[in-house]
A = this chain, B = another copy of it.
Amino acid sequence: MTDPLPPGSTIGILGGGQLGRMLAQAAAKLGLRTHVYSDRADDPAFELAAAATCGEFTDVARIAAFAETVDVITYEFENVPLEAAEAAERLRPLRPGSRALAVAQDRLIEKRFISGLGLPVAPFAEVSSPAMLARELETIGTPAILKTRRFGYDGKGQARIRTPGEASAALAELAGAPAILEGHVAFEREVSILVVRGHDGEVRTYDTPVNEHRDGILYRSTVPSSLEPSHRARAEEIGRLVADALDYVGLLAVEMFHISGDAKNPLIINEIAPRVHNSGHWTLDACHVSQFENHIRAVAGWPLGSTARHSNAVMTNLIGPEADDWRKLAEDPMLSLHLYGKREARAGRKMGHVTRLSPLTESGRAKDD
């Protein structure tokens, strides 16, 4: 138990992307200051932070100096080097801690951690040589997917293996990076659970969005989903188990595959994101307290806020040139438009998002469920 940080305190944020930007905005709403540390001078979070340090994430001395200027530290991306996170953690509370980072940074450690909790994951195996890959493909079968253990995001660092004959090409694509082979899961839809855990262990969950991807990038998240109530309850249970096991403080997302006909394991865990998550952006417009504010509340040792939803919502990402349509999007009376202030609309880059709101249906579920 710690005392909550009073208004006027400073939260250090490692990472300066749109998640850091929206965290800085949420902190400001509560009268908390932010100091953003990131490695690119034009990162979108810098403009909204009370203080900014532009430095390399590998510069442990710089990270330590940054840590000394703040009251507590959080991060907005899971690839913060562990060494830097640990250096920060020696000086100030790091919430969530370096353990969540260590687990989420490495797909193999992550899968073992989840399995160790008795939770279902796709069949997986470590792969570090062509011989290992051939052997594991025999067990796991095809189709399968070969992924780098580290630094994968938005579909990067992945190669599909449809037949055993594609194995060596897949390995070549990963260019010798330590890898993990994952078996195919015949899922109907992807969902995620957004769970926030306070410093005192209190846990709250948001409604479970159903997520659609395009080219490996999240395209759309919708609430309410069409998950049956027992499966929703299971998603919440999974979120809680993972957060508790990590002694997590802050917002955590668990991405899952949904197989409605599998009575035993309707939800297979795909991956953990130890941070605010793109599939929770709709909470900004449709909830009393957003995922960003609840993350800040947890990190600052404050009471958690309500995760209740006042509207139905469909969040759609604006990728690359899609944000050029801002004028048309701004005209739509039911859309809330969010632009991240990024200067270059490179292909595949998340430039903003829109949330389409509609009145809450009586049951809390969409009419066409």
A residues within 8 Å of B by Cβ? 4, 6-8, 21, 25, 28-33, 47-48, 50, 285, 288-289, 297, 302-303, 305-306, 308, 310-311, 323, 326-327, 330-331, 333-334, 336-343, 352, 357, 359-360
With A302-B327, A331-B303 as known contacts, state yes or no: A340 contacts B31, CB within 8 Å. Answer: yes
With A47-B33, A288-B334, A339-B30 as known contacts, state yes or no: A310 contacts B310, CB within 8 Å. Answer: yes
Copies in the complex: 2
B308 touches A333 (CB 8 A): yes
Tell me the minimal C-beta distance from A13 to chain B in angstroms. Answer: 14
Known contacts A8-B341, A21-B28; 13 further A-B pairs (Cβ under 8 A): A4-B327, A4-B330, A7-B326, A28-B341, A31-B340, A31-B341, A31-B342, A48-B50, A289-B336, A302-B327, A302-B330, A303-B327, A305-B333
B327 touches A306 (CB 8 A): no
A29 touches B357 (CB 8 A): no
With A311-B310, A327-B4, A327-B303 as known contacts, state yes or no: A338 contacts B29, CB within 8 Å. Answer: yes
Of B28, B342, B360, the residue contacting A25 (CB under 8 A) is B28
Of B4, B29, B352, B359, the residue contacting A31 (CB under 8 A) is B352
- Bound together, the chains give a CA A29 to CA B33 distance in angstroms of 18
| Closest 9 pairs between A and B when the two form their complex, measured CB to CB | A31-B339, A306-B333, A47-B50, A303-B331, A31-B341, A7-B339, A303-B330, A302-B330, A310-B311
Tell me the minimal C-beta distance from A297 to chain B in angstroms. Answer: 7
- Bound together, the chains give a CA A345 to CA B326 distance in angstroms of 40
Of B30, B288, B303, the residue contacting A357 (CB under 8 A) is B288
What residues of B have a CB within 8 angstroms of the CB of A32 in the complex?
341
Minimum CB distance partner of A326 in chain B = B7
A-B contact pairs, 8 of them (CB 8 A): A4-B327, A25-B29, A28-B47, A33-B47, A48-B50, A288-B334, A288-B357, A305-B330
With A288-B285, A327-B303 as known contacts, state yes or no: A310 contacts B4, CB within 8 Å. Answer: no
